[in-house]
Chains A and B, each alone.
Chain A
Amino acid sequence: MEITIIIGFSPETPAEIEVFCAKFEKIVIASGHQTVVFNLAKMHIKPCSGCWSCWVKTPGLCGTHDDAELILKRYLHSDLVLFFTNLPAGFISSSTKKIIDKLIPHYHPYIFIKEGEMDHLPRYDRYPDLASIFIQPENADELDLQISDDYMRRVASQFHSNYKFTSINPKTAEEVYHEITNS
């Protein structure tokens, strides 16, 4: 299995999160899988400019050439993409939202009806499963967690992916790996 982890913390990635991901990488590799970790804080990625080049000028390709291209390519070759985010101000981070916005080239501008609602047609034949890890303080607002969880599930639906799980404040990297193997 190819697992991609996208670390998107705002305003920056705490050192312990990087350590957590390094441990996770070791577990995944030792179990015979492959993994790539993208730490958005260390990448040069501009927000989506809404230019729609990816839909009407260079279909499938983002008009802004930045490090998001590395993720766009890897995304399609993954079996599972794991969004690792904090919830600043009670919702997924701006950093994570930025990369979600930048995934739009993977879908058509064309609309079809899915379960009675409009949706964008897929550009590719297959997409990875999605999952999330949320990090929140212990006194986190339950409704914030619910809103972000509902949102990520909707993203998966629009992105023609299966949503596997949301892990909240996992204590160990092993815990996340078990979630993956059990989901």
Chain B
Amino acid sequence: MKLLILNGSPRAMGSNSTLLMQHFCEGAKFAVPAFDFEMCYLSKHTHFDEYLEKYDKAENVLWIFPLYVHAMPSIVKDFMEILYTAKPQNKPPHAFIVQSGFTEAAQSRFLEPYLTRFPGKLGCKSNGLLIKGGIEGIQIMPKFATKSLFRNFNNLGQIYAKNDKLDEKLCAKLRKPEHLNSRILLIMRIMAFLKMNNFYWNIQLKKNNAFHLRDSQPYL
């Protein structure tokens, strides 16, 4: 199977999307050694013609990107428009993985209906949609904190390589929590009480010697 991965993270190779796909593809290769894939970075606008040629030869397409202001980053929409206008003869099924920094999957609900419709606009079928929250920071988390996430992405890749689609049960498990439940809200309240709720951002602000500027209002 020739899978074309359309990586829509503006951070490209250093992104969380790329890291997640590494685990996904490792799983796919493990399950089906002949599994063949190619990664296209949509941040490289000048490569779009080349990506269209690759699309014409793909047997499956998998989009992965971070949620930007409740939808796809503009570079992803840009390539969607180009595909829609090009009307490719090839009709590979499309799957989507949307990852976000927000914990709850419901934050992606304004994009989800569009993604379920987009493959049909190209005359293609959909073969899965995964919404996964709580991804920001995975590159600096200790190994034990990401072990389960990466194992699940490895499993997702294994099943995908065998069945040509994202496993619905695993996607349903991974997208939890759908909403912030009382346990998460309690943890957030405790973190706020301990003044640790902004820990991740404050560390980065301090590292950049910008903590004192955190409340700047430069455009007033």
Contacts and interface: CB of A to CB of B under 8 A. Distances in A.
B134 to A, nearest CB: 10
A170 interface: no
A90 B114 contact: yes
A172 interface: no
A48 B205 contact: no
B74 A154 contact: no
Contacts of B218: 58, 60-61
Nearest to A102: B74
B117 interface: yes
Given A59-B205, A93-B81, A94-B74, A72 B10 contact: no
Contacts of B68: 48, 50, 101
A151 to B, nearest CB: 5
Interface stretch (B50-58, B99-107, B164-172): B99-107
B104 A117 contact: yes
Interface string B64-82: 0010111111110110110
A173 B214 CA distance: 42
B81 A11 contact: yes
Interface string A101-120: 10110101111010011100
A71 to B, nearest CB: 10
A42 interface: no
The bracket for how many chain A residues form the interface is: 35 or more
Contacts of B198: 110
Contacts of B179: 116-117
Contacts of B117: 90, 143-144, 147
Interface residues of B, number: 53
B37 interface: no
Interface in B203-220: 204-205, 207-208, 210, 213-220
Given A97-B74, A158-B70, A89 B81 contact: yes
B81 A94 contact: yes
Nearest to A95: B74
B104 A55 contact: no
Given A89-B84, A124-B217, A50 B9 contact: yes
B201 A101 contact: no
B11 interface: yes
Interface in B113-132: 113-114, 117-118, 121
A24 B207 CA distance: 48
Contacts of A56: 201, 204-205, 207-208, 210
Given A88-B84, A116-B179, 16 more contacts: A10-B78, A10-B81, A11-B81, A50-B15, A50-B73, A52-B204, A60-B216, A89-B81, A89-B118, A91-B71, A92-B77, A95-B74, A101-B73, A117-B179, A151-B70, A151-B111
